[in-house]
Amino acid sequence: MARTPRKAHSKPRPGDAGRPRLILLNKPYRVLPQFTDGQGRATLAGFGLPPGVYPAGRLDYDSEGLMVLTDYGPWQVRISHPRHKMVKTYWVQVEGRPDAEALACLRRGVILKDGPARALSVRVIGEPAGLWTRHPPIRYRAHIPTTWLELRLDEGRNRQVRRMTATIGHPTLRLVRQAVGPWTVDALAPGQWREVPFEEAVSRLGRGRAGGRSRPPANGIRRRPPRG
């Protein structure tokens, strides 16, 4: 069940003391995927997230959908590092109507400035059922049709989906991340979040390194072994 956002700086529940946390958030359009900004833009600080969690991967300011956050370094690495190839699923509204060859090109791979990029899968879909309205909506142009695609990647380079669709001649108009690994944005309204049960997170991501000390990651997440 989706959770109503709480006040900022809320404390963890007593039963969660000492355990790593894994949070799923539906990031709205035009929200920075970070907690501070010097230009007055909306950030993650406005959604009452538990203290100490940080994004495991990014989602662009002008993109929407699922973000995963955690306070445990090994889980962040497991989700976001390219070597682990965790699959991300996107709903992409593009300009025009891509033909079979354009879609095949995405599957074979396109050449971007930072190297080749390939979709694990791509298919045409209808507008996703239950998709929330974006504010503001995309610009409507009666003489230019649009198409929804479902696209899956196992990497996450900067603005990769947008660059890939532009390469085949179909610019992205709206981009929604529907899933990260086994977790989806379903049942979360924009700005809402829920916590993944600890046992489920461990079963999916493991417990990280057992024993020993590791250097804290650059984002400030403290590495600690899960308990229980």
Instruction: Specify whether 16 is catalytic.
Output: no
Distances, alpha carbon 26 to alpha carbons 39, 128, 213, 217, in Å: 22, 15, 33, 25
Confidence at residue 95, expressed as pLDDT on a 0 to 100 scale: 97
Dist CA 10 CA 176 (whole Å) = 28
CATH fold of 19-85+190-228: Alpha-Beta Plaits (3.30.70)
Place of tokens 């699959």: 87
Confidence at residue 17, expressed as pLDDT on a 0 to 100 scale: 54
Q: Which of 37, 60, 71, 154 does the annotation list as catalytic?
A: 60
β-pair partners for 110: 117
Cβ-contact 72, 226 below 8 angstroms: yes
Q: What is the pLDDT of residues 124-151, one digit of tens each?
A: 999 999 999 999 999 888 789 999 999 9
Residue 211 per-residue DSSP state: S
Confidence at residue 228, expressed as pLDDT on a 0 to 100 scale: 41
CATH fold of 87-180: Alpha-Beta Plaits (3.30.70)
Residue 97 per-residue DSSP state: -
Domain 87-180 in the same topology as domain 19-85+190-228: yes
Instruction: Provide the H-helix boundaries in the chain.
Output: 73-80, 100-108, 160-167, 198-205
Domain residue limits, the chain: 19-85+190-228, 87-180
pLDDT tens across the length of the chain (228 residues): 444 444 333 333 433 457 999 999 999 999 999 999 999 999 999 999 999 999 999 999 999 999 999 999 999 999 999 899 999 999 999 999 999 999 999 999 999 999 999 999 999 999 999 999 999 999 888 789 999 999 999 988 889 999 999 999 999 999 999 999 999 999 999 999 999 999 999 999 998 764 322 333 444 434 443 444
Confidence at residue 4, expressed as pLDDT on a 0 to 100 scale: 44
